[in-house]
Amino acid sequence: MQSDNGHMQSASDQSMLQAIGAGDVAGLRRFRAAYFEMVAQLVRRGGGTRDDAEDIFQEATLVIYERLKDSPLRLSSSLKTYLFAICRNLWSNVARKRQRLVAINDDQDNLANIGADESDILEFMQRREEYRIYREHFDRLSPQCRRVLSFFFAGVSMNAIAKEMNFSSAQYAKNVKCKCKQRLTQAIKADERFNELSER
């Protein structure tokens, strides 16, 4: 596939985007195997841990999934470059919240030709205050809840979630999902900022 500015998406990039959009577990595993270490290195350079990298990678995957739901995703760079830009912005936001002075050096291989994509990412990530409130409360959930909900929001089936999480059954996975989603919803609704936005 060729984007509007002439960048040709590789077959591998197309395959991984399709997997993310479809919530395909095998494809999501390939995506992680290909790019997680790049994200982990980025986060470590900024003073973070491997757990931080896990969270950033899952959130970036969710961002891409949400973009794919809006419209076909046409990149002016490789998927690797696009993912790096998302993760760099996400980690910078986390680092600022922790009041750390984090300097993330530009990686020319990953940042070449990124301009238009990064502006698009920033617009998407910042256009709604509700999303930031949601992310704050999502990050406070247990690791299990975050992982289950990430799979669920990406459209992964209950059977596949049960297998990934080593749960006894799809019904048990559904029960965990419902409880986690309820906790998240209740926390968001109890947030005064959310109520103020709802009244606008």
CA distances from 74 to 5, 48, 103, 156 (A): 9, 31, 30, 23
- Reported as a single tens digit per residue, the pLDDT across 36-67 is 999 999 988 888 888 889 988 988 888 888 88
pLDDT score for 16: 87
Provide the 8-state DSSP code for 53: H
Q: Would you say the pTM of this structure is higher than 0.75?
A: no
Domain ranges of the chain: 1-127, 129-200
Tens digits of residue pLDDT in 137-181: 888 899 899 888 888 876 778 888 888 889 999 999 999 999 998
* CB contact set of 79 (below 8 Å; sequence gap of 6+): 9, 10, 12, 13, 16, 17
